[in-house]
Chains A and B, each alone.
Chain A
Amino acid sequence: MAGTTLVTTAPTPTAPAPRGRPRGTRERPSGWYLAPALAFFGFFAVLPMGLVVYLSFTDWNGFGFPQPSGAANWERLVADGEARDALLLTLLFMVVTWAVQTPIALLIGVWAAGRQRNRAVLSSLFFLPLLLSTAAIALLWASVLDPNFGVTQALPFLDRFNFLGDTDIVIYTVVWVVSWQYVPFHTLLYQGAARQIPHSLYEAATIDGAGRYRQFFTITLPLLKYTVITSSVLMLVGSFTTFDTILILTGGGPGTTTRIAPLYMYITGFSGFEFGYASAIAVLLLVLGAGLSLFVTRITGFRAMQSQQEGS
C-alpha cells in the first residue's frame, strides 16, 4: 500500500488526492504540526541570533536604524580591559557558585531522600526559597544585609561586615544570595536521584561492615554521578547568565566589583546606548554560553543522562 502511494502521488499531481486512500502516509502527523512552533521559535529566538551578529558590526544608539560600522566594535572588544575583567569575574563567580552549591545540595539532597518524618517536614521548608521570584529574593537580601537596619547588624560577629558595600566581599555576597536561591532546586534533583538507589545496596554494605561515610563515597556518590553532572551543567550555565540578582542587589557595584559579563552587556547597551558594541559582547556571551552547554554535555554524555532518566 505504502509503495503504491509513492508511485501514484509523484506523477499525477492533476487531481486532488482522493480522501482516505493513502492511509500509509496519512496516519502520521505531517510536518505542519511542528511548523507553527518552529516558526514562532525561529522568529523570536533564532532570528535574534542572526540579528545580534549583524548588529555587532553596526553603530546604533537605540533610535532610528543601525549604521554599519565594520569591525570597529570587535576591535574595541579585543582591546577592552573592562570586558576582560568582566569575563574573568564571571569565571570566578561561576566557579565559586558551583563550589558552594554542589556540596550543600548534594548532602542535603541525600539526607532529605530518607523517608523519616522529621526529614520530610524540614525538607519541605528547605524548598520555600523556590517560591520566591529572583527579584523578590534580591530585594529581600538587600534588606537583610542592609548596613544600617539589616538582620546582620543585629547579630554578633556578622555585624562587622558591610556585605554590600565592601568591595572585597561583595562578589561573595552575590554568590551567597544566588546559592540561597538555587540550592533548594539542586537539592530537589539530588533527593529525587538518591531515592532511586536501591536499599539493598546499603544493606549489603552494612552487612559487610561499611560505615556511613564509606557507604556515601562508595555507593551514593558513584550512583549520583549523572545527577552531579546535570546539576553542575545547570549551575554553570545559570551562573554564567546571572543578571536580575546582581542588577537589583548591587547594580554591578560598588564600582565594577560585581559587574559580570551579562550585566556589562546590559549596561553598555541600555544605559550607555551603545547597542552595537553591546551586541558584540552579546555575541561573545552567546558563543561562550552555547559552547559551554554543548561542551559539557558532549564530554559528559548527555545521552547517557537521558537514558538514565528514562530508566527510572
Chain B
Amino acid sequence: MTATALPTRGATAAPAPPRPRRRRRRRERPNVLAGVLSLAWFVLVAVPLYYLVSGSLRTRQDYLSTNPLVPPSDPTLENYRTVFEGGFPTYLLNTVVVTLATVAIVVGLTLPAAYAIARNTGRFVQRGFSLMLVGLAIPAQAAIIPVYLMITQLRMYDTLLAVILPTAAFAMPVALLVMVNSLRDIPGELYEAQTLDGAGPFAVLRHLVLPLAKPAITTVSVFTSLTAWNGFLFPLVLTQSEDTRVLTLGLWDFQGQFGTNVPGLLAAVTLSVVPIFVLYLIGRRYLLSGLTAGFGK
C-alpha cells in the first residue's frame, strides 16, 4: 500500500543511500531508444520547417546559389511583399468567408439536432441519427462528380456558396457525433428541472443546452474551421475564377505562377500557416481538441 502511494512524490522511498534529488521521477535509467527516436523525429520535423521559413527570407539569387540549410546571407521580406501584391489577400478573404460560413451552418444545424437526438427516443430521430453516422464512412471523393452536377444545375458554380454547402454537409457527421456525446452527458434531472419550471424545448435549448454544450461547440467549431480552412477538393472542382479562389488553391496556383520563384512560394506557404499558428498559440488545448474531434480524449 505504501509502495504504491509513495512514488508519486518522487524517489523519496529509498531511505538508505543519500542520493541527490533529481527532477526525474520513478524511472532510473533514461529511455534511450525512445529518446533517440524522438530526437530523430524532431530533426525530421524541424528541418523542413526551418527550410520553409529561412527559404522565404532569401532572395532568388541566394536560393539558387547557396546551400538551403545555411541561414540566408541577406534576409529580405521582399517575397512577402510579392505575395501580398498578388492574389493572396483575396484568397485569404475567401477562405475566411468559407470557414466562418461553414462553421455557422454546422454549429447552427447540429446543436438542435444533437439536442433532439439526446432527448427524443422517437424512431424518426434515431433513424436520422443513424443515417448521418453512416456519413462518417462516405469519402468525399465518391460524391464529387454528382456534387459538381448539382452545383452547376443550381447555377452556383464558381461561387463561394458552392464550396460552403458541401463542405458543411461533409463536416456534419463528426460534428453531430461530438455534440451528441456531449449532450448525453448532461444529467436528465437538469432537463426535468427546467421542464418543471415550465420551459418548452426551445427555452431548454437556449438556457440549458447552449451553455453546457460550450466545450463541444468549441471543439466542433475548431474541427470544422480546420476542415474548411484546409479544404481542397470542393474548391478545386466547384470554383474556377480568381475571385473565388481559396487559399489552398491559391498556394497551388502560386507553384505554377511563380515558376522558379521558390522563395515566393515558401513565403506564401508560411503566410497561410500564420492564422492557424496564432490560434495554436492562444488556444492550444482547443485546437488539439478540435483536431482529434470525436476520436480521442
Interface residues of B in 1-42 (CB under 8 A from A): 3-4, 7-8, 23-27, 29, 31, 34-35, 37-38, 41-42
CB distance from A296 to the nearest CB of B (A): 10
Bound Cα distance A256, B27 (Å) = 51
Interface size class of A (residues with CB under 8 A): 35 or more
Contacts A28-B119, A48-B150, A126-B41 given: A40-B169 contact, CB under 8 Å? yes
Say which residue of B44, B265, B297 sits within 8 Å of A193 (CB atoms).
Answer: B297
Q: Which residues on B sit within 8 Å (CB–CB) of A86?
A: none
For A45, A108, A119, A146, which residue has the most chain B Cβ atoms within 10 angstroms?
A45
Q: Which residues on A sit within 8 Å (CB–CB) of B67?
A: 154
Chain A residue at smallest Cβ distance from B134: A290
- B side interface size, CB within 8 A: 107
Q: Is the CB of B120 within 8 A of A28?
A: yes
B104 touches A (CB below 8 Å): no
A15 touches B (CB below 8 Å): no
Q: Is the CB of B139 within 8 A of A241?
A: yes
Bound Cα distance A222, B258 (Å) = 51
Q: Which residues on A sit within 8 Å (CB–CB) of B31?
A: 111, 212
Q: Is the CB of B145 within 8 A of A248?
A: no
The stretch that binds A, out of B71-79, B82-90, B123-131, is B123-131
Contacts A41-B172, A45-B135, A151-B51 given: A129-B45 contact, CB under 8 Å? yes
A38 touches B (CB below 8 Å): yes
CB distance from B94 to the nearest CB of A (A): 14
Bound Cα distance A69, B118 (Å) = 46
Q: Which residues on B sit within 8 Å (CB–CB) of A303?
A: none
B216 touches A (CB below 8 Å): no
A residues with a Cβ closer than 8 A to B are 23, 26-34, 36-38, 40-49, 51-52, 55, 60, 66, 104, 107-108, 110-112, 115-117, 119, 122, 124-136, 139-144, 146, 149-151, 153-155, 180, 183-185, 188-189, 192-193, 195-196, 199-200, 202-204, 206-207, 212, 227, 230, 234, 237, 240-241, 243-244, 248, 262, 265-266, 269-270, 275, 278-279, 282-283, 285-286, 289-290, 292-294, 309-310, 312
